[in-house]
Amino acid sequence: MLIGIDASRANKDHKSGTEWYSYYVIRWLAKIDAKNQYILYSDTPLKGGLLDLTTKQHFDASPAFASFRRPLFGQEMNGARFDKKGFQILKSPHDNFKAKVLKWRFPFCWTQIRFSLEMLFSKPDILFIPAHALPIIHPKRSIATIHDIGFEKERKLYSSDYLGPRAGVFRYIFNLLFRLFTFGRYGATVLDYHSWSSRFSLKHARRIITISHFSKKEIMETYKPKRDKIKVIYNGYNKFLYKKIDQAEEIKKVLEKHDIKGPYIFYVGRLEKKKNTPALIEAYAIAKEDHKEIKHKLVLAGDASHGYDEVKYMIREFDLENDVIITGWVPEADMPYIYNGASAFIFPSLYEGFGIPLLQAMACGTPIAASRAGSIPEIAGKAAILFDPNNVKSMAEAISGIILDDGLRQSLIKKGLDRVKDFSWEKCARETLAEIEELK
């Protein structure tokens, strides 16, 4: 059986939740499945850990491809090699993976136009989309993952940036075509596309995976699909990377690399409204004001996103320029060292479909204070102290408590190390493969 997978998100340099999910499910499918054949589809040649699926750990992607020109057979291009039929050659444990680069000159509509054209003329037996966007043309046996529907429930937290060409007349035409195609219900914005594509996937995919019971409940209440169509499969974490590290010198080297000075509390994720980063900064300021003995820095790791201006404003407003350290995006290989060096991990999100950083912190033995929102209580269980994300005083009390109460910290560390045993990318991939094979 030939299984096609959209690997475009897994191929991104700066990955967050959906991208890491795509990446690790692909890598574990390569390890556990020797009988099926796979083809990975992407808009650019695959790189980094997708080139060699036999390796044990993730290694950072090589620089992004600035342009793409198909090489002659046997030629290499930035590590990419192609066979006589134009398929990119990949190394896999069972020699059953290859890739097809679907060239597309525009930064939009790759899935719905270029990917759909590929499905029209050369479709696999089964198509797996590790995100919500199923191409319009697809095999009858298709399966997609809808991670969450925060864009429906908390629209104010999401960017409504325009999707399509920027030039005036082309922008107008594109938006008009999009409205005609959706019978006037949706415009050509990122937010509307999320909503339309999720509804389309729910209607046309044979099976839907989601990543928490919280997300399933939200999907059922909002879209009212057939209940037996949706399967909950939890995310995992890289157990080879995220673990307790006892080498103090190695931790120190990584912290120095990112200009991090201890002691510190840690947050990782996009710096944006949905992740509630501005409120975290205010709560941190309150905790320091109420407890002068707190000398910890606040380390924020992640890319700037929708609402980042407010993050910068809050830092200036509370005079925290010397206390808040913004590292930007951090390579995954460095992340376990930063977790291990932290006194606590703070996760203040207003909405989460899962929250992979929770697992990473647990595995590293970092005590967690997290918001009582979305799927977080479901995933964290008893391994986190929970606070109201809409109440900065509640968040500040959680921050000060987890820093100053050593008994609480040790209890959370133990509970976290026990709780994280319930999750793994291998388990996620095995359950996903079972769902795929049920579509035979």
Q: What is the CATH number of the domain that holds 196?
A: 3.40.50.2000
Residue 30 lies in a domain: yes
Domain that holds residue 307: 248-422
Residue 242 lies in a domain: no
Rounded distance between C-alpha atoms, residue 49 and residue 63, angstroms: 13
Residue 243 lies in a domain: no
pLDDT of residue 57: 59
Contact (Cβ atoms closer than 8 angstroms) between residue 372 and residue 365 = no
Contact (Cβ atoms closer than 8 angstroms) between residue 300 and residue 294 = no
- Residues 263-301 pLDDT 10s: 999 999 988 888 999 999 999 999 999 999 999 999 999
Average pLDDT, the chain: 90
Q: Do residues 102 and 120 share a domain?
A: yes
Residue 91 lies in a domain: yes
Rounded distance between C-alpha atoms, residue 368 and residue 17, angstroms: 18
Q: Do residues 429 and 412 share a domain?
A: no
- Residue 261 identity: K
Q: Do residues 298 and 316 share a domain?
A: yes
Q: Do residues 21 and 150 share a domain?
A: yes
Rounded distance between C-alpha atoms, residue 119 and residue 38, angstroms: 15
Q: Do residues 11 and 78 share a domain?
A: yes
pLDDT of residue 58: 54
Residue 241 lies in a domain: no
Residue 252 lies in a domain: yes
Q: Do residues 407 and 326 share a domain?
A: yes
* Cα torsion through 49, 53, 55, 56, rounded to 10: 90
Rounded to 10 deg, the angle between the 392-404 and 277-290 helix axes is: 60
Residue 416 lies in a domain: yes
Contact (Cβ atoms closer than 8 angstroms) between residue 383 and residue 416 = yes
Contact (Cβ atoms closer than 8 angstroms) between residue 233 and residue 144 = no
As given in the structure block, the two tokens for residue 111 are 């899935």
**CB burial class (10 A; 0-12, 13-18, 19+) of residue 110?**
buried
Give φ, ψ of 209 to 5 degrees. Answer: -100, 140
Regions in the chain scoring below 50 on pLDDT: 59-77
How many domains does the structure of the chain reveal?
A: 2
Residue 376 lies in a domain: yes
Rounded distance between C-alpha atoms, residue 365 and residue 385, angstroms: 14
171: nearest Cα among 181, 163, 161, 183: 163
As given in the structure block, the two tokens for residue 432 are 């996903």
Q: Do residues 289 and 161 share a domain?
A: no
pLDDT of residue 163: 76
Q: Do residues 195 and 336 share a domain?
A: no
pLDDT of residue 87: 94
Q: What is the pTM for the complete model shown?
A: 0.89
